[in-house]
Amino acid sequence: MKSLRVGLGDRAYDILIAQNMLADIGRYLKEAGFAKRYFVVADSNVAEIYGEDMLASLRAAGYSPQLLTFPAGEESKNLALMGQLASRLARLGMDRNDALLALGGGVTGDLTGFLAASYMRGVSFVQVPTSLLAQVDSSVGGKTGVDIPEGKNLIGAFYQPRAVFIDSTVLKTLPAAELLNGLAEVIKYGVIYDRDFFDFLAERRLDILDLERSAIEKLVESCCAIKAAVVEADEREADLRRILNFGHTIGHAVEADSDFKLAHGSAVAIGMAAACRLAVLRGGFAASEAQRVIRLISDFGLPVSVPAAAEIKHLRGYLLSDKKTVGGRVFFVLPTAIGKVEISADIDPALLDQVLCS
Ligand code: NAD
Ligand code: GLY
């Protein structure tokens, strides 16, 4: 088992990574003593595949857990569903000595984390991420929240889990399209932070796509280590944490323009390729390096071109309404080398239009 620490003072926590660890999580929780009872929250898909195993693990450790489920999908990440879950917890008698356990992808983690931040003004929660995206990104760092009709993740809180348990064997049941969503974020880490990790992704691409054990373990561990380092340096996204938005600025615009029909990972992939092209046009990034990044994204089976149907004026509008845009200034995370980025709002609109057409 690998153990990483997210060093956040009195909110520090461990990320434990091991194969087939679901059965042992109850025991770890017993030893840690975070709570008297656990309420497991899972979406309908994950509850069906792993709900009973999770409950069995908790029961074997002497707990009497409850499972709360909700319909799978981003549509469930809303205030109404959160209210329903809170009512169910209150009726089940959950109190401040109890904790929530988020078993699932990023939707479950974000929703359960925000419920934990709000229920009785804050109860403990732990993350058991089951999608690749959740294992390498959303379960670590304490961003929790829900969507409202006016925008995704517009209501939420920074609220750290007490622990994160990552069992990468559960990825074998993850649909291929969901694996790709996570891989876009994985490539992001290599480009923004770690050239060696980027090289590893290029070398072990086929093993990664096959979910070969050692490749996936290294991948998950490296991503969590990078995310932990970034969050430790800047928990509330005042500065460094903004680099995690690489690919997400233009990505969100193309995703919104597609009326969210384009998968998030595809949108981020297009956004990363566009940011690379923009960085080259500005003169701060070698064309050969940009080509390597774009080739890797494409080799993993992700798109690298803005959809032909997208209109520039609409994309510009989405860029200006993005929640990362401040006072009309759109911030871009741009590579300067593979493994290094800078943040700039000083972009020539003509160059931006050029990359939005490519
Ligand atoms: P998701 O939670 O909807 O999971 C994707 C699908 O995979 C769902 O249908 C789910 O039921 C299924 N699934 C998950 N694990 C499975 C498994 N092991 N086997 C079979 N099916 C499985 O979506 P996601 O891509 O995991 O997360 C996306 C969400 O994460 C978005 O809401 C996004 O805003 C959020 N997010 C949050 C952060 C953060 O820092 N908090 C970062 C990135 C994304
Ligand atoms: N996924 C972006 C962040 O956690 O900051």
Q: What is the pLDDT of residues 151-185, one digit of tens each?
A: 899 999 999 999 999 999 999 999 999 999 999 99
Tell me how far apart the alpha carbons of residues 345 and 282 are, in angstroms, rounded to a whole number.
Answer: 12
Q: Compute the distance from residue 133 Cα to the ligand 1 centre, in Å.
A: 6
**327: confidence class by pLDDT, cuts 50, 70, 90:** confident
> Using a 6 Å CB cutoff, which residues line ligand 2?
137, 141, 143, 237, 241, 244
- Residue 109: nearest ligand to its CA? 1
The region of weakest confidence among 68-82, 196-210, 324-338 is 324-338
Q: What is the mean pLDDT of the chain?
A: 96
335 CB burial (10 A radius; 0-12, 13-18, 19+): buried
pLDDT one-digit tens code per residue, 47-106: 999 999 999 999 999 999 999 999 999 999 999 999 999 999 999 999 999 999 999 999
Residues annotated as catalytic are 121, 143, 185, 227, 237, 241, 245, 248, 252, 264
Which ligand sits closest to the CA of 231?
Answer: 2
Which atom of ligand 1 is nearest the CA belonging to 44? 11
Please check the confidence at residue 136 and state whether its pLDDT lies above 80: yes
| 249 touches 278 (CB < 8 A) | no
Find, among 251, 229, 264, the residue nearest to 322 by Cα: 251
CA 132/CA 176 separation, integer angstroms: 11
Phi, psi at residue 30, to the nearest 5°?
-60, -45
Confirm or reject: Cβ of 77 under 6 Å from ligand 1: yes
Cβ-proximal residues to 236 (8 Å cutoff; 6+ apart), any chain? 158
In the chain, what is the straight-line distance between the N-terminal and C-terminal CA atoms, in Å? Answer: 44
Among the atoms of ligand 1, which is closest to the Cα of residue 141? 40
Strands 38-43 and 66-70: parallel
0.75 cut: is pTM over it?
yes
For residue 47, the model assigns a pLDDT of 98
Pick left, alpha or beta for residue 142 (phi over 0 → left; psi -120 to 50 → alpha; otherwise beta): left
Residue 320: pLDDT band with limits 50, 70, 90? confident
Tell me, using a 6 A CB cutoff, whether residue 104 lines ligand 1.
Answer: yes
Q: Does 323 have pLDDT greater than 80?
A: no
Q: What is the dihedral of CA 15, 20, 21, 26, to 10 degrees?
A: 150
| Closest ligand 1 atom number to CA of residue 173 | 19
What 8-state DSSP symbol labels residue 149? T
